[in-house]
Structure 1
Amino acid sequence: MKLLRNGRIAAFAALGTALAAAAAGCSSSGSDQPTAQISQIGPSSAYAGPVLTKPFGLPSGTFQSTAGGTESIEAPAKGDLTLVFYGFTHCDDDCPTTMADISAAWRGLPKDEQGRITIDVVTTDPWRDTTPVMASWLAGFNLPSSTGLTASFATIQASGASVGVDVEKPADMSGDYQVTHGLQVLGYTSDGKAHIEWLVEDVTVAQLRADFARVLSGAPIQ
């Protein structure tokens, strides 16, 4: 594997047609990062987001929540969808773009479908992202079903690694530092598995919305 632009990693499956939607970052990294195998992408799949041949389980870790108290990331109710994203509030490009695209896709859904999607955002910058800071940041995206989660950096890094999301501690934390991390948005269904993930730079808002609606319709993720 090798890093591509913006720190993304690509890996090709045996047929050479699959793109691995793996680590990306708000600052670049020069090391290989964990990735997931992808079964299909684009026109070969019913979904615009790549479908994982080896779905991830739920992220590890217990977090302090913007909803109050502590919690772990849980599977949604049957037929619903939970999105998990690792990012941070001081990110100046990829994180707000990802959240804005999720918000735009979510707002275009019917009200009943909106209520069936939850969004868990795990900070990759626990030194600055307290729960009040995350709550304020998330409020700007008009996603009432979103929750911000923070913990020790060790917990966050291990949580990301458990689902193929690389999170790196900044070497220099002076000034307005950036944090290298994976940008994939994982889509969890009621079986507690992420069968699909998205990189918003690879899909349009319309495609993201269509994928959300298709998952909520009960269509197989394949």
Structure 2
Amino acid sequence: MQKLLVSVVALIALVAGVVIYNSLPQPQPQALVYDPPRVMEPFSLQGHHGSAISNADLEGQWTLLFTGYTSCPDICPTTMADLKKAMPRLNAKAEAPVKVWMISVDPKRDSLDKLAQYNGYFGPEFLGVRAEHEQLYPFVNGLGLMYSIPAPDQMDYLVNHSSAIVLVNPQGQRHAIFKASHTPGKIPTVDMEQLITDFRLIVRDYR
């Protein structure tokens, strides 16, 4: 009888603990999460493997979209290296695979071969994406990002571009945006530890 009473008390305590836990505020991501996720406009770009890519290529995976270019001296290689290092931890938190699309904002200099070589260094999860400005600019702008277009006669130039990272869910919808932190004296990059934490919370709540 005493053992039964102890078991009943333990069960009541467990249920009470679960109820209390569920009633507590759950941690929320610091990233800007779109609620509901936003449908992406139809697009047609080129992947560094040479094939056309469209909205359908975003489905069935979590995709991190990042604007950059192979001649970028600071933000791009830093962000790509950070994402490469974070990839195992990101993939461990989601059932669907995690991919990275580096969207080149320098189509004049970034050929498919150049993008393939650059992205290949970071791993098979990385895809270089390009298009001419007529298709590229509306696509980037639709993501809530931006970049500058150099004058046609310029050959040696830098491209100003967003350093934020956009998250697309397995249904091919814009789900969140991870904004860069701006610290005096440092290049603006996304805090990768925070991105990993936020990604875990987003995956937790994803339906």
Corresponding position: 1:76 with 2:56: no
Q: How does 1:169-184 map to 2 (within 5 A)?
A: 169-171=149-151, 174-184=154-164
Residue type of the alignment partner of 2:179: L
Counterparts of 1:51 and 1:173, CA distance in 2 = 40
Q: How does 1:1-222 map to 2 (within 5 A)?
A: 46-52=28-34, 55-58=37-40, 60-74=42-56, 75-77=58-60, 80-109=61-90, 113=94, 116-141=97-122, 143-171=123-151, 174-201=154-181, 203-216=190-203, 218-220=204-206
CA RMSD, 1 decimal: 2.8
* Aligned-partner SS, 1:129: coil
Contact 2:93 2:200 in 1 (8 A): no
Residue type of the alignment partner of 1:178: L
Counterparts of 2:144 and 2:192, CA distance in 1 = 24
Counterparts of 1:138 and 1:114, CA distance in 2 = 24
Residue type of the alignment partner of 1:213: R
Residue type of the alignment partner of 1:201: S
Residue type of the alignment partner of 2:28: A
Cα displacement (A) at 1:206: 2.1
Unaligned runs of 5+ in 1: 1-43
* Aligned-partner SS, 1:108: helix
Contact 1:101 1:200 in 2 (8 A): no
Contact 1:73 1:120 in 2 (8 A): no
Compared CA separation, residues 50 and 152, structure 1 to 2 (3 A):
same
Could you tell me the percent identity over the aligned residues?
25
Compared CA separation, residues 59 and 105, structure 1 to 2 (3 A):
farther
Counterparts of 1:98 and 1:114, CA distance in 2 = 24
Compared CA separation, residues 139 and 76, structure 1 to 2 (3 A):
same
Cα displacement (A) at 1:54: 6.8
Counterparts of 1:45 and 1:113, CA distance in 2 = 18
TM-score normalised by structure 1 residue count: 0.67
Give CA-to-partner distance per residue, 1:43-86, whole Å, 9 cap, x none. Answer: x9611322235744325431221123211144332xx4111112
Compared CA separation, residues 118 and 199, structure 1 to 2 (3 A):
same
* Aligned-partner SS, 1:84: strand
TM-score normalised by structure 2 residue count: 0.71
Counterparts of 1:89 and 1:121, CA distance in 2 = 10
The structure number with the bigger radius of gyration is: 2
Give CA-to-partner distance per residue, 1:90-141, whole Å, 9 cap, x none. Answer: 1111112221222221133466859710112211000111111111111222
Compared CA separation, residues 73 and 118, structure 1 to 2 (3 A):
farther
Looking at secondary structure, tell me which structure has more helix per residue.
2
The runs of at least 4 consecutive aligned structure 1 residues that moved more than 4 Å come to 109-115
